[in-house]
Structure 1
Amino acid sequence: MLAMERIGALLGVFAFLMATIYGFWTNSTELGIEWVGVIGLILGGLLGFMITWYLGMTRRKLEVDPSDDPLGEIDEIQGDYGFFSPHSWWPLFLAAAAAVCFLGLAVGWWVFIIGAFFAVPALIGWTFEYWKGEHAL
């Protein structure tokens, strides 16, 4: 995480340096400073420093980060990936309904309503599939 902090700080310093250079460069023209680019670069620099600050605060809360250990193994970083149903058909139905909904945004609202009509039961079915039946928990 320390390397990522340094990258965020480097991004922030670079963006502030480029904002300064860009401001002087555009000020030399007859139109004056081009403020959109300068402000965009300043915001990019602030984003880099915000990333650095967040990663620094997170690193202080953790005991030892495996990515900072030169002898660390990759499997020390991995976390829990969650639970995935190997037999569930509900994600397929929900994806098809979502595709119809997105098609409805391009074609017309009546197609979106049809997609939503199919999406609600698919979402409810996927949410409650482990409450009863063969695979109940």
Structure 2
Amino acid sequence: MYLSIVAFVLTKVCHALNVTVTPGPVVMVTEKDNLTLSCLVSQRKRSNSVLILRWFYSPPFLIAKLGIKKIKLYGNYTRRFPKPKFRLFEEQEGELFRLWILNVSGMDQGLYSCKVQEIRKLRNTWRSSSNGTGSTQLMGE
């Protein structure tokens, strides 16, 4: 009985969604440079699932989201920045996502988190099967 419980727990742990943000855990950047943060997703539970990816900036503001074949940028950044500030790209389908931060300034310092939710459709309803988060701290030089 004990061995079957351990095997069940290990199976659940081994199939957790793994999210890694690079560079990190701390990034030193010079003002006016552009910076690319990468979010690598691995150990998905199902190959046919869909990923919902969100980038957050701390204090917790949602800045970008990639859903089912749709990218959306959030926030009223036109008041703070005269030009677009962020761009989100899916580089390797379902595995590697890049967030570009353009023309870095002191106001961009903080914690950036990539939160990923794996969902699948079951009887016409979308259900979450796993979640994962990776973060990096952006600091000025």
TM over 0.5: no
More strand by share: 2
Structure whose CA Rg is larger: 1
With a CA cutoff of 8 Å and minimum separation of 6, indicate the structure with the bigger relative contact order. 2
Pairwise TM-score range, normalised by the shorter structure: under 0.3
